[in-house]
Amino acid sequence: MPKKFSPSKKDILTAPERYEKLDPQRVMSLLPLLVYQTVADIGCGPGYFTVPLAKYLFDGKVYALDIQQKMVDAAKESTRIINLTNVHFERSRENKLPLDEDCLDGAFVAFVLHEANRPHTFLKEVKRCLRKGGWLAVLEAGKQDFSKKTDSTDSKETNLRDIVKELGFRFISRHSLNDGKYMLLMRK
């Protein structure tokens, strides 16, 4: 069973050094965002991407979802401090999102899949929530493998692409971020 990130270490996720290595504004510039969209930040943690998404989607809505209540509470506090009112917070289960079918224009999944027990099932659930033509952005770091069959450390991205292709997503683009981090963008 993959290990989940401990909420006791959540301050690491919003430390100033992280912004130097992974600029959320740069990441958002690569997304097909429109200001009126409804987007889910799945695995929102303490709100590292939730806050910039909510600022950009000023005429839209952000669902901040996490399986750990302490992370949901931290994200809620991050948005409360700057008075963002277009974010809805929910605790989710790993393979069951508290969202209606076809309710999202986009889903943002940052550094979550390597913690998922069943990445295929998780992504299938994300797809259920996306509208036709909706986008999925997955950020990950290299060196992990999503397949159940192998412990290879160099095939993670290939396995991820195989999973999303099998689920019927259309691959749009790949972006190298830094330090081995990358983002895959797909459409339903």
The mean pLDDT values, 10 residues at a time, for the chain of 188 residues are 67 71 93 98 97 97 97 96 97 96 98 92 98 97 54 66 95 91 96
Give percent helix, percent strand, percent coil of the chain, each to the nearest 5. Answer: 35, 25, 40
Instruction: Return the closest-CA partner of residue 134 out of 53, 62, 37.
Output: 37
The domain containing residue 93 runs over which residues?
7-187
State the Cα–Cα distance between residues 54 and 130, nearest whole angstrom.
18
In this prediction, residue 1 carries a pLDDT of: 54
Residue at 105 is within a domain: yes
User: What local confidence, expressed as pLDDT, does residue 180 receive?
Assistant: 84
pLDDT score of 91: 97
CA distance 76 to 179: 29
Residue 49 lies in a domain: yes
Domain membership flag for residue 126: yes
CATH number reported for the structural domain that contains residue 142 in this entry: 3.40.50.150
Contact between residue 72 and residue 93 where contact means Cβ atoms under 8 Å apart: no
- Cβ neighbours of residue 94 closer than 8 Å, sequence gap 6 or more: 67, 116, 117, 118, 122
* Position 1 in a domain: no
Q: What is the pTM of this model?
A: 0.88
The count of domains in the chain is 1
